Structure 1
Amino acid sequence: MSTEQQNVPAFDLIGKRYDESFVERDVQLAEGAWLIRQLPPGARVLDLGCGSGLPTAKQLLDAGVEVVGVDESQVMLQLAEQQAPGGRYLHQDLRDVDELGEFDAVVAFFALLMLPRADIPPLLERIRARLRGPKLLLISMVHGDFDLFPIVFLGAPTGVSAYPPATLRQVVTDAGYEVLDLQEIEAEAEPGRIEVQIYLRARALD
């Protein structure tokens, strides 16, 4: 890989191959369907790390939910505009949530794992301050115990952070949430590679 490629965000390099190679998304779709059932009419949801808009932003928009999507990859946001039209998509750091207004829910599917572990608890606290109404948080991560561990995903170098399930539950609880559900799922994340994924539902406490 060239020096120029190493300086490009991983998901700018991955682009549409992410959707083409992501094999199993049944659980993510089921989590989105659960969220839709909890939301009031006119709900507003922040899709943090929205990527290409598939499947979650499109799923929410199709249900009549107002969606703000944030991602650090301009290439992925361009795909989101095409594949999940109608959302408001912002190219910015995932940690910059303070100026985005209030939301009934925040979803972060495989987004927080792109951050250093030291940045995740304060971000969860800032998200809590932005929640109203049902105050729901849905996140997914991979099972593990590492901090920006270097990997190659779909041919692009990146770093990934992970927690064991009990630690993730404690991190979310300590940030001011009640954990409603936590699932561990084996899924094919890219062709030929199985990983254990963690899906967590939580509600912000007053």
Structure 2
Amino acid sequence: MTTDSGPDNLRREYRALHADAFNRIGGRYDEAFPRKEGQIAAGEWMIKQLKPGSRVLDVGCGTGSPTAEQLADAGCEVTGIDISPVMLQLARKNVPVGTFFELDVLDLNGSLGIYDAVTAFFSLLMLPRAEIVTALAKVHAVLAPDGLFSLSMVELDLDDIPFQFLGVPVRVTGYLRDELHEVVKAAGFTVLSENRVSYAPATTLAPPEIQLFLNCRRDYV
């Protein structure tokens, strides 16, 4: 990763790095993380508060399992976005009633409409902290008033660090619990509940981790 590129070139490099990584990982992601209790619980929290037919955006939808599939089964109108064409192919197969687009969260705008809820499970951790702030603003802008937002991150005090994930190079960011709360609140969300999960992947290619799930509501700002 070069350091003398301009911001736009650097962002394109990041996007290409992570798109290639998840194209290579593909279905191995679900094999490495077969149990997703925290993510499923966050989806259940959201479903309990949504009416059938609610519009939900899944940011970094991956294979569509479990979140897009879970929301679609509950009668929600699900849209997923991801930067990996391979992941999107898997999502369309796993959730045929969903709508999926190859789109970077940083390019998210009102062109896809307004949503009753947004999920972003382990997708923002592939962005530097400065871009996470931008991504949260993008999410806030496409949410309806009082819209719901569920976010998950790995609890780490890191900003844009090279990392080998399932044998492929990526760059990762994390926050400690209190700082993550502050970042989310500053972006215009009220944290309604939190779940902290100790998770051990089903592979030695990914270390055990502490997962933070924040269930939030959009503020009027």
Query: What is the CA RMSD across the aligned residues, in angstroms?
Result: 1.6
Q: How many residues are aligned here?
A: 202
The answer to whether the 8 Å contact 1:53/1:81 transfers is yes
The answer to whether the 8 Å contact 1:24/1:188 transfers is no
**TM-fit CA distance, 1:153:** 1.1
- How far, CA to CA, are the matches of 2:151 and 2:102 in structure 1? 20
Aligned CA distance change for structure 1 residues 8 and 184 (closer, same or farther; 3 Å): closer
Q: TM-score, normalised by structure 1?
A: 0.93
69, 75, 93: which one pairs with 2:104? 93
Counterpart of 1:202 in structure 2 is 216
- Where structure 2 has 5 or more consecutive residues not aligned to the other structure, the ranges are 1-15
The answer to whether the 8 Å contact 1:42/1:66 transfers is yes
Counterpart of 1:36 in structure 2 is 47
The answer to whether the 8 Å contact 1:173/1:179 transfers is yes
1:78 aligns with 2:89: yes
1:23 aligns with 2:37: no
151, 154, 160: which one pairs with 2:166? 154
Structure with the largest fraction of strand: 1
1:116 aligns with 2:128: yes
Q: TM-score, normalised by structure 2?
A: 0.87
Aligned residue for 1:85, secondary structure, equals coil
- How far, CA to CA, are the matches of 1:7 and 1:76 in structure 2? 12
Percent of aligned pairs sharing the same letter: 46
- How far, CA to CA, are the matches of 2:37 and 2:203 in structure 1? 16
The answer to whether the 8 Å contact 1:105/1:134 transfers is no
- How far, CA to CA, are the matches of 1:204 and 1:125 in structure 2? 11
Structure with the largest fraction of helix: 2
Counterpart of 2:56 in structure 1 is 45
Aligned residue for 2:106, secondary structure, equals coil
**TM-fit CA distance, 1:198:** 0.6
Q: Which consecutive aligned stretches of 4+ in structure 1 deviate over 3 angstroms post-superposition?
A: 5-8
**TM-fit CA distance, 1:24:** 2.5
Aligned residue for 2:105, secondary structure, equals coil
- Where structure 1 has 5 or more consecutive residues not aligned to the other structure, the ranges are none
